[in-house]
Amino acid sequence: MTATVSISSSVQSAQKYGWWAGNARLTELSGKLLGAHIAQAALIVFWAGAYTLFELSRYNLAEPIYGQGLILIPHLASLGFGVGEGGQLVNLYPYFAIGVVHLVSSAVLGAGGIYHALLGPEILPEGQTFPGFFGYNWRDQNKMTTILGIHLVLLGFGALLLVIKAMVVGGLYDPAVSDVRVITQPTLSPTVIFGYLVGAQGHGGMVAVNNLEDVVGGHIYVGLILIGGGIWHIVTQPRQWVQPLFLWSGEAYLSYSLGALAYMGFLAAYFVMVNDTVYPEIFYGPVGLSVTDAGVVTSRTWLATSHFVLAILFLFGHLWHGVRVRTRAARFDMQSGTMTTPRPAEVEWLQAVGQVKPSDITVTFLRNLPIYRRGVSPLFRGLEIGMAHGYFLAGPLMLLNPLNTSRSAISAGLVLTVTLIGLIGIVLSRYQVEGVDSANRFYWLKNLEQWSSFQAGFLVGGVGGALLVYFLLQNTELFQALIQGVPG
Q: Which of 93, 112, 138 is the last residue in one of the domains?
A: 138
Domain count, the chain: 4
Q: Are residues 311 and 346 in the same domain?
A: yes
How far, in Å, are 88, 233, 249, 409 from residue 152 at the CA level? Answer: 36, 9, 20, 48
Alpha-carbon distance of 77 to 87, in angstroms, equals 8
Q: Are residues 288 and 200 in the same domain?
A: no
Q: Are residues 165 and 260 in the same domain?
A: no
Check if the beta carbon of residue 95 is closer than 8 Å to that of residue 58: no
Alpha-carbon distance of 362 to 356, in angstroms, equals 10
Residue 193: inside a domain: yes
Q: Which of 138, 164, 191 is the last residue in one of the domains?
A: 138
Q: Per residue of the chain (488 residues), give pLDDT as tens.
A: 333 333 334 334 444 666 667 788 888 889 999 999 999 999 999 999 999 999 999 999 989 999 999 999 999 999 999 999 999 999 999 999 999 999 999 999 999 999 998 998 999 888 777 777 888 888 888 999 999 999 999 999 999 999 999 999 999 999 999 999 999 999 999 999 999 998 888 888 899 999 999 999 999 999 999 999 999 999 999 988 888 888 888 889 999 999 999 999 999 999 999 999 999 999 999 999 888 888 889 999 999 999 999 999 999 999 999 988 888 888 787 777 777 776 665 666 665 555 677 777 888 888 888 888 888 888 998 999 999 999 999 888 887 777 766 778 888 889 999 999 999 888 877 765 554 444 445 556 667 788 888 889 999 999 999 999 888 888 877 777 777 765 54
CA atoms within 13 A on the CB side of 123: 18
SS3 52: helix
Q: Are residues 218 and 129 in the same domain?
A: no
Q: Are residues 168 and 236 in the same domain?
A: yes
Q: Which of 222, 245, 268 is the last residue in one of the domains?
A: 245
